[in-house]
Amino acid sequence: MVLGRRIPCLSLSYLVAVLAFSHLVAVLGAQKQLRFGQNGNFKILQVADMHFADGKITPCLDVFPGQMRTCSDLNTTAFIERMIRAENPDLIVFTGDNIFGFDATDAAKSLTAAFAPAISSNIPWVAVLGNHDQESTLSRDGVMKHIVGLKNTLSQVNPAEAHVIDGFGNYNLEIGGVRGSEFENKSVLNLYFLDSGDYSTVSSIPGYGWIKPSQQFWFQRTSAKLRRAYENKPQPQKGPAPGLVYFHIPLPEFARFDSSNFTGVRQEGISSASVNSGFFTTMVEAGDVKAVFTGHDHLNDFCGELTGIQLCYAGGFGYHAYGKAGWSRRARVVVASLEKSEKGDWGAVKSIKTWKRLDDQHFTAIDGQALWSKSPAGGRRKKEVGRA
């Protein structure tokens, strides 16, 4: 009888434990589940500079005078919904200045409203910080903590393995190969997210912040760890899986192009930090990064290649962000595509392409271009020669 009485108690706590555990597994599982679809593609939507504030009562900037009366933050919301419907991405990345803090009465409310279309789409999404996110009622730490508490986000405040790291919102995501393929347990595409800071805190250095040595060190170690895993069993690969890097403030290297060697437009200066942090060199040295995506300068939307890395802007997205009347708000889409083996099985990433979409009447797609493509024969031959 004693036993009989105990069993229900035990089974109840057992049930609770099992439920809690399976919830944990489901949460962890959901995070691990980012992978290429059965069509061999993984699509990322980048939304830069929403500058969301108080919603309906927040007016638009830089639209034609005749458009002012009917234009607010809600147009930014409608644009995200439109992008999601048209592109159906696998991941949405918000690259900072998600809210325009000065005009946001309550940072938590503004953040929740800004990300609402992503949240309700049930598509996984992530965000990093810009230089305006902390200007309302929450600090940078507070903003990032609020973001990671929202539904369907894979954002992290900072990586658990980095004990000391500058900023808030440094983390990476591994995108697995197609389920059932030889690459199902490998990360075939690596995404890195970094906090490029807000403003310099060094009195002798004016201007914007930059990616600090502690962050670069974490990036370097993470890139090396991912490369080792990719080069190891199962399906050992030669060289690293391609990597894509997302943050807010462009690097000084974005200024190395002109219209003869970029795709898109440059209609304002490159507002990077006034010093060079060396992060571009760190990425070139790591060897896996194929493209970098930033925001910050709303009137620039180009991609240009320097030393094997594409440096890309997304172009301004938000209606409460400065822009140019008649020059449509826009967003960037990136698609990575897998190669097929002789057996017809999905393999490693073969190519990475991008285009932008304008929030105009026809939702025009512009500036389609290849950012990177794998050259298996060439790459392999070089290595074999090197080893001989």
Ligand X SMILES: *[C@@H]1O[C@H](CO)[C@@H](O)[C@H](O)[C@H]1NC(C)=O
The residues of the shown chain that bind ligand X, judged by CB under 6 A, are: 63, 67, 70-71, 75, 182, 184-185, 234, 256-258, 260-261, 306
If one counts every other C-beta atom within 10 angstroms of the C-beta of residue 335, the result is 17
Nearer to ligand X, 119 or 306 (CB): 306
Supply the minimum distance, in Å, between the C-beta of residue 103 and ligand X. 18
Cβ of residue 149: shortest distance to ligand X, in angstroms? Answer: 30
> Which long-range contacts (C-beta less than 8 Å, at least 24 apart) are formed by 208-211?
208/131, 208/249, 208/271, 208/272, 208/273, 208/274, 209/131, 209/249, 209/273, 210/249, 210/272, 210/273, 210/275, 210/277, 210/279, 211/167, 211/247, 211/277, 211/279
- Nearest distance, CB of residue 277 and ligand X, angstroms: 19
Tell me the closest approach of the beta carbon of residue 186 to ligand X, in angstroms. 8
Half-sphere exposure of 369 (CA within 13 A, CB side): 18
In whole angstroms, give the CA distance from residue 185 to residue 114. Answer: 34
Looking at the chain, which runs of residues are DSSP E strands? 41-47, 91-95, 125-128, 171-176, 187-193, 243-246, 262-263, 289-294, 303-306, 309-313, 330-340, 346-358, 365-373
Nearer to ligand X, 258 or 384 (CB): 258
Torsion over CA of 215, 139, 250 and 163, rounded to 10 degrees?
0
Question: Based on CB atoms, which residue is closest to ligand X, 203 or 361?
Answer: 361
* Residue (204 or 361) nearer to ligand X, CB: 361
Angle at alpha carbon of residue 220, lines to 217 and 223, rounded to 5°: 150
Please report how close the Cβ of residue 166 comes to ligand X at its closest, in angstroms: 29
Q: How far is the CB of 366 from ligand X (least distance, A)?
A: 18
> Would you say 58 or 136 has its CB closer to ligand X?
58
The answer to whether the beta carbons of residues 246 and 128 sit under 8 Å apart is yes
Burial class (CB within 10 angstroms; exposed 0-12, middle 13-18, buried 19+) of 76: buried
Q: Are 330 and 301 in contact (CB under 8 A)?
A: yes
Q: Which residue has the tokens 């890395």?
A: 309
3-class secondary-structure state, position 33: coil
C-beta of 44 vs 358, nearer to ligand X = 358
CB of 148 to ligand X, least distance (A): 28
CB of 208 or CB of 262, closer to ligand X: 262
- We find the least distance from the C-beta atom of residue 28 to ligand X, in angstroms, to be 14
Q: Whose Cβ is closer to ligand X: residue 139's or residue 232's?
A: 232
Q: Between 47 and 63, whose beta carbon lies closer to ligand X? A: 63
Which residues lie below 8 Å from residue 53, measured CB to CB, with a gap of 6+? 73, 99, 100, 103, 104, 105, 110, 320
**CB 357 → ligand X: shortest distance, Å?**
14
